[in-house]
Structure 1
Amino acid sequence: MKISKALACAAILASGAGLPAHAQSLDELAAAAAKEGMLSTIALPHSWCGYGDVIAAFKAKYPQITVNELNPDAGSADELEAVRANKDNTGPQAPDVLDIGFAFGPQAKDEGLTQAYKVATWDTIPAEAKDSDGHWYGDYYGVLSFVVNTDLVENVPQDWSDLLKPEYANAVALAGDPRASNQAILAVMAAGLAQGGEAGEASGQKGLEFFKALNDAGNFVPVIGKAGTIAQGATPIVIAWDYNGLAWRDTLAGNPPLEIVVPKSGVVAGVYVQAISAYAPQPNAAKLWMEYLYSDEGQLGWLAGYCHPIRFNDLAARGVIPQALLDALPPAEAYEKAVFPTLDQQAGNKAAVTGGWDAVVGANVQ
């Protein structure tokens, strides 16, 4: 799918509007970043949210900057640990930028792991999805779904309760370790909501009970699910973000065929956030990366990867979204029951899940 190359924010950047007082114009920022010569990212699989094409477009736009991609399969907790572990390291193992789950943004700020920076399009990012000081800001969102290998699964599950059926023995996996991965932590929340738990600590507890039952039934597979494990048959059903499932479906191109199902209940929408490491060895390249991601071009790049970019409403209002990108998304009604948990609800759920997984479920996901 061709992404528009129009960079509508360039004029705003050139004027300095929306940027902190100390910030450079876009040209000055690009020149400073070029002198640094490198950007170190972390936890950005190319199939996730269209990141492969987004990174390629950034490199084409700024060829003087080498993109150093660290640990693409890391979880949000791993990203924060990478910052902690490299506080005094200016080498290539120190990440400049982070893409982490919503609940991890405030944690990173509180620990002093991030630095403030407001992109030029700051005012078009919803207030509830950003730190007022600019330490973190929402980038995109999706909903948790079932990604099903229909070569191996005859009856495709439609809701969480279906996953407990005997026909799904050794079939169901999470797309991350629920002790560290935001995607997996929120999957436990979604299961808990489907069992009647309120969003927060209660959903975490109910979700743990569900996964204990799933594990006791012999249906849970303690393997981190991804396109390869689905194709190999090791994890015929993976609970993952809708955009990951849709990207895997495209990558596998029918071998095997995949069906992506948004469950009838327990639909959780997850917002991820961007941040710049407080110890970024290449701070100007990090800022330039943020400016690119939050430009129209960068936002449409995520949309091409099936993610709803955080500036979606602004893009839609200005009529800059190609119809082909809108047509490629799941139908709007799939999102009607989606719950957008608050930071407090996510924090309560996260504490329950990460603290109780080993004791309640006892499955070592890896």
Structure 2
Amino acid sequence: MFKFTGKVLSLTAVALMATSAISSAQSMDELVAAAKAEGQLTTIALPHSWCGYGDVIAGFKAKYPEITINELNPDAGSGDEIEAIKANKDNKGPQAPDVIDVGLSFGPSAKADGLIQPYKVSTWDTIPDSAKDADGYWYGDYYGVLAFGVNKAVVQNAPQDWADLLKPEYANSVALAGDPRTSNNAVMSVYASGLAAGGTGGQDAAAKGLQFFKQLNDAGNFVPVDGEAAAVAQGTTPIVMNWDYNLLAMRDKMAGNPEIEIVVPKGAVVAGVYVQAISAYAPHPNAAKLWMEYLYSDEGQLGWLKGYCHPIRFNDLAKKGVIPKEMLDKLPAAENYEKAIFPTLEEQNAAKKEISTNWDAIVGAVVK
């Protein structure tokens, strides 16, 4: 699985009833008391090195020391999380997860299968509508945006937008992070280039993205190899498209040898989002709701940002001016993030079908 000042503490019962899908009205104080009485929260698939989760979990523990966090299988994937709910429907023991953090496609399917329950956090209205279930069954938690990672030792003038990649100065320089016939990362990069070229979304943006990559390949700028960190560092593929959190982590790991510049393109800024949900069979439902309140508070959201995963409430946090300057200084231009587009699951599926089916015929470059 690839899977931070103000915690809201003064909600009234009326306000929480208006924004939450709790079956019976609860104030925050009542929710905290109920969660403490349960005394435990069971999570799954939350590696401490991913998205700042180590600090996020520590923050929750410090705020609510009466609640023990039982962490299951930190390295599991989204599919494993869903199977864990299914396997423990009748089990209230330590192997039954209360909450899940999964890829976008797993939210709607888990809802359809009756595996998750609705809950709307107090900050619900600041989560983009396109990144949450209207009934509160699942909701985006953090996202990455597609960006350019540029080896400054090889490329002096970093491209600032998708169209720039076609310039002659970037000959034999541009790579994808994966094979667009099979890699979601690569598929969404092609999709984003199509949106920047005037695509309207879904199949149309995918088709325009294929034409863009045909131009890129015909111009001799596209390098058909997987743009991994080693290839970027060695200059084999000095420009790579990837999720920003991967690129930012790569930049930090290289520590200036070579210097890596991260550019969020000015045109289409496409986001890939993960979602949170509460198991329909959660043994500790109040602790699960309190966990969600913490994750979607300013404190919890900034925790993810510290780990380079953009919190879903980023625009709201930026508007309120609560993001520490030292965090913003480590990121590409914040104004570009404010343009982030969250493709729907339907749009993503249409793009995947169009790109995986027609890449060979239109672009004709086999990524190895």
Please, what TM-score do these two structures have when normalized by structure 2? Answer: 0.72
Counterpart position of 2:275:
273
Point out the more displaced range, 117-126 or 328-337: 328-337
Deviation at 1:92, TM superposition (A): 5.6
Q: Which of 32, 50, 71 does residue 26 from structure 1 map onto?
A: 32
Q: Report if aligned partners of 2:180, 2:355 keep a CA contact under 8 Å in 1.
A: no
Q: Secondary structure at the match of 2:269?
A: coil
The reply on whether 1:256 has 2:251 as its aligned counterpart is no
The reply on whether 1:139 has 2:141 as its aligned counterpart is yes
Q: Aligned AA for 1:97?
A: I
Q: Secondary structure at the match of 2:101?
A: strand
Query: Taking structure 1 as reference, are residues 40 and 326 closer, same or farther at Cα in structure 2, changes over 3 Å only?
Result: same
Counterpart position of 1:83:
82
Counterpart position of 2:122:
120
Counterpart position of 2:298:
296
In structure 2, C-alpha distance between the alignment counterparts of 1:21 and 1:111, rounded to whole Å: 20
In structure 2, C-alpha distance between the alignment counterparts of 1:92 and 1:170, rounded to whole Å: 48
In structure 2, C-alpha distance between the alignment counterparts of 1:201 and 1:290, rounded to whole Å: 35
List aligned pairs for 1:1-366, cutoff 5 A: 4=5, 6-7=6-7, 9-12=8-11, 17=16, 18-19=19-20, 20-22=22-24, 25-34=31-40, 38-41=42-45, 46=49, 48=51, 50-61=52-63, 64-71=68-75, 79-80=78-79, 82-84=81-83, 87-88=86-87, 96-101=99-104, 105-153=107-155, 156-161=158-163, 163=165, 169=172, 172-174=175-177, 179=182, 181=184, 183-211=185-213, 219-222=223-226, 225=228, 230-231=232-233, 236-278=238-280, 286-315=288-317, 320-335=322-337, 339-342=341-344, 344-353=346-355
Deviation at 1:203, TM superposition (A): 1.4
In structure 2, C-alpha distance between the alignment counterparts of 1:317 and 1:215, rounded to whole Å: 40
Query: Taking structure 1 as reference, are residues 14 and 196 closer, same or farther at Cα in structure 2, changes over 3 Å only?
Result: closer
Deviation at 1:301, TM superposition (A): 1.5
In structure 2, C-alpha distance between the alignment counterparts of 1:179 and 1:277, rounded to whole Å: 30
Query: Taking structure 1 as reference, are residues 214 and 317 closer, same or farther at Cα in structure 2, changes over 3 Å only?
Result: closer
Q: Aligned AA for 1:273?
A: V
Deviation at 1:31, TM superposition (A): 4.0
Query: Taking structure 1 as reference, are residues 202 and 317 closer, same or farther at Cα in structure 2, changes over 3 Å only?
Result: closer
Query: Taking structure 1 as reference, are residues 179 and 132 closer, same or farther at Cα in structure 2, changes over 3 Å only?
Result: same
Q: Over residues 190-219 of structure 1, what are the superposed CA-to-partner deviations in whole Å (9 max), with x where a residue is unaligned?
A: 122234433111112333454567678660
Larger Cα-atom Rg: 2
Query: Taking structure 1 as reference, are residues 109 and 195 closer, same or farther at Cα in structure 2, changes over 3 Å only?
Result: same
Deviation at 1:290, TM superposition (A): 1.9
The alignment-based identity, stated in percent, is: 52
Deviation at 1:15, TM superposition (A): 8.6
Deviation at 1:294, TM superposition (A): 0.8
Q: Structure 2: any 5+ residue segments left out of the alignment?
A: none
Q: Report if aligned partners of 2:36, 2:287 keep a CA contact under 8 Å in 1.
A: yes
Q: Report if aligned partners of 1:150, 1:256 keep a CA contact under 8 Å in 2.
A: yes
Cα RMSD of the aligned pairs, angstroms, is 4.3
Q: Report if aligned partners of 1:54, 1:298 keep a CA contact under 8 Å in 2.
A: yes
Aligned residues between the structures: 349
